[in-house]
């Protein structure tokens, strides 16, 4: 019998799960609130520039990840060779430790990861669809989703929930199980805290030959958390131009999350100018931004506390499950959780 699988969220975890199910007898439906896929591993295009404004790249700490990326097709695959350096709260810049030797993206942007994975599946991806509630049916593993427009999706024999923990907890609170385990699972998920990050994009009509691809603050003492140069990625920025991805520190981001873009970008540009000791960076010729209310988890959920729901057909995956905001960790967590779904069939 075909296994009916519902996945909430088309981020790295949800897409990884769909990819894991590509060769089994499963009908997979992904319900995604956004118009795009790959979650915070997002790509935008503007004025002949392509930029990854959430997650910046995929690292490959093991052969498994590199093998997958190459298997998806090496056309357009980009490995950023320039290193990541570090800076402290005083703005002092030093060489880094090269912990991310390989930093992978594509000329078309990081969303290619999800697009190429999904292209190898038969998953039905329902974009621009926000799930409002979940209902468990009479069957031991029968689940139905209702979106904000009142439409239903399902029923599903297995349901995988992948949004950030605070959003997952809200969804669980809308769910009637008739089962005492729900409260314990919801409490465990709700305990996972997230950092807020506002990304500011600063474009300049010049390009400097810096020896680094990115700078990362290592002591949480600066209002800027990360600065990277999209021009280091083949095909992203026209020659002679520069585009900086400036991810502001969590405290700054939370405080200024809703500030108008002109105000937020002016402050970000001033901070970058001071950091790089170059007044030209205080005056970008165009700017953009993206806020990530739930950008990075501070830790992970207790795995056993959420696995108690699996015998009812309810599964969870994402960076908050593994406790690290890395694309490859979320991807493989979704992939391996999906494999466990099938094993439990």
pLDDT for residue 299: 92
Vertex 96, ends 93 and 100: CA angle to 5°? Answer: 140
| Cα dihedral value 31, 341, 11, 8, nearest 10 | 30
pLDDT digits (tens, 9 = 90+) for 332-342: 999 999 999 88
Vertex 199, ends 42 and 260: CA angle to 5°? Answer: 120
Q: Which of 19-33, 61-75, 255-269, 286-300 is least confident?
A: 61-75
Options 3.30.70.1230, 3.40.50.300, 3.50.50.60, 3.40.50.10880; CATH for 3-39+115-191+301-343 is: 3.50.50.60
Sort 257 into a burial class: Cβ within 10 Å, 0-12 / 13-18 / 19+: middle
**Could you state, in order of their start, the residue ranges of all structural domains in the chain?**
3-39+115-191+301-343, 57-109+194-297
| Confidence label for 62 from pLDDT (cuts 50, 70 and 90) | confident
Higher pLDDT, 344 or 10: 10
pLDDT reading at 234 higher than 50: yes
Vertex 52, ends 46 and 53: CA angle to 5°? Answer: 85
Mean pLDDT value across the chain: 93
State if pTM tops 0.75.
Answer: yes
pLDDT digits (tens, 9 = 90+) for 94-126: 998 776 678 999 999 999 999 999 999 999 999
Average pLDDT over residues 72-87: 94
**Cα separation, 319 vs 334, whole angstroms:** 9
pLDDT reading at 345 higher than 60: no
Average pLDDT over residues 52-56: 94
Q: In this prediction, what percent of the chain has a pLDDT beyond 90?
A: 82
Do 3-39+115-191+301-343 and 57-109+194-297 show the same overall fold? no
Q: Which fold has domain 57-109+194-297?
A: Polyamine Oxidase; Chain A, domain 2 (3.90.660)
**Cα separation, 142 vs 147, whole angstroms:** 17
CB 118 within 8 A of CB 32: no
pLDDT reading at 292 higher than 70: yes
Average pLDDT over residues 222-241: 98
């Amino acid at each position: 019998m075909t296994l009916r699988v519902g996945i909430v969220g088309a981020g790295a975890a949800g897409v990884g799960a769909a990819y894991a199910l590509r060769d089994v007898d499963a009908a997979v439906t992904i319900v995604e609130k956004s118009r795009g896929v790959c979650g915070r591993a997002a790509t935008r295009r503007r004025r002949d520039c392509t930029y990854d404004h959430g997650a910046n790249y995929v690292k490959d700490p093991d052969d498994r990840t590199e093998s997958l990326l190459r298997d998806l097709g090496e056309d357009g695959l980009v490995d950023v060779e320039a290193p990541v350096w570090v800076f402290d709260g005083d703005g002092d810049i030093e060489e880094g430790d090269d912990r991310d030797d390989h930093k992978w993206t594509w000329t078309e942007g990081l969303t290619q990861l999800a697009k190429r994975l999904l292209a190898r599946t038969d998953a039905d991806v329902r974009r621009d669809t926000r799930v409002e509630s979940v209902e468990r049916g009479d069957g031991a593993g029968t689940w139905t989703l209702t979106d904000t427009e009142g439409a239903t999706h399902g029923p599903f024999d297995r349901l995988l929930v992948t949004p950030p923990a605070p959003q997952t907890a809200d969804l669980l609170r809308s769910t009637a199980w008739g089962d005492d385990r729900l409260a314990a699972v919801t409490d465990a998920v709700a305990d996972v805290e997230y950092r807020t990050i506002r990304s500011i994009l600063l474009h300049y009509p010049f390009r400097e030959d810096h020896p680094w691809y990115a700078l990362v603050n290592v002591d949480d003492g600066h209002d800027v958390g990360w600065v990277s140069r999209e021009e280091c990625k083949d095909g992203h920025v026209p020659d002679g131009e520069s585009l900086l991805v400036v991810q502001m520190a969590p405290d700054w981001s939370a405080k200024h999350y809703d500030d108008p873009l002109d105000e937020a970008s002016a402050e970000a540009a001033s901070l970058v100018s001071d950091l790089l000791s170059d007044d030209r960076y205080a005056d970008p010729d165009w700017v953009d931004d993206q806020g990530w209310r739930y950008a990075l988890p501070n830790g992970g959920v207790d795995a056993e506390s959420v696995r108690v729901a699996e015998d009812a057909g309810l599964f969870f995956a994402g960076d908050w499950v593994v406790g690290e905001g890395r694309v490859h960790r979320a991807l493989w967590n979704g992939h391996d959780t999906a494999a466990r779904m099938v094993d439990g069939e």
